[in-house]
Amino acid sequence: MKRFGLACTLLVSVFACGPRPFSNLYLLSMPETNQGRALPLDVIPVDKTLLIKISNVKPEEWFVSEMRDTTSGIKKRVFQGAQNEPVRVERQNDRNDFVIVVDYADSEDVDAQRLVIGEEYRRAKDIYVLVTKNSIRIVDKKVYEDFRHSR
């Protein structure tokens, strides 16, 4: 019986120290997002190698790339105007981080169109992302709720 107790304790400690198997990603777009035009948005689970590959592709090229067609686990969305959508993102194997890629119609700023949800969020149950007129960013729950109620 002592061995069973020890095995359970070890199993619990492994799960407590590792990344969460999933997180809830709450996406909120503003009415003026992308000047009211449809905005493609992908949430991509990545490991270090895939993160580098995606970082070398411009957002407008990502949405028509073969890499997008062959990468598994992508959550594909299209936002237009004010929207609020939860997305459950799952961590599998060594793909513990996520990249959000959007393609704003009138922006060449790659940094404003790509967001890395990295190691600091691996234990987070809920992650809040604000999709504004021409950029995306992680915010805390209060900011997210304030924007959600003000639309």
Strand pairing report for 22-29 and 39-46: unpaired
Distances (CA, A) of 113 to 17, 19, 110, 135: 32, 26, 5, 6
Q: Model-level pTM?
A: 0.85
Tell me the domains of the chain and their CATH numbers: 20-150 (2.60.40.4150)
Per residue of the chain (151 residues), what is the pLDDT tens digit? 555 554 444 444 444 567 789 999 999 999 999 998 999 999 999 999 999 999 999 999 999 999 999 999 999 999 999 999 999 999 988 899 999 999 999 898 999 999 999 999 999 999 999 999 989 999 999 999 999 998 7
Cα Rg of the chain, angstroms: 18
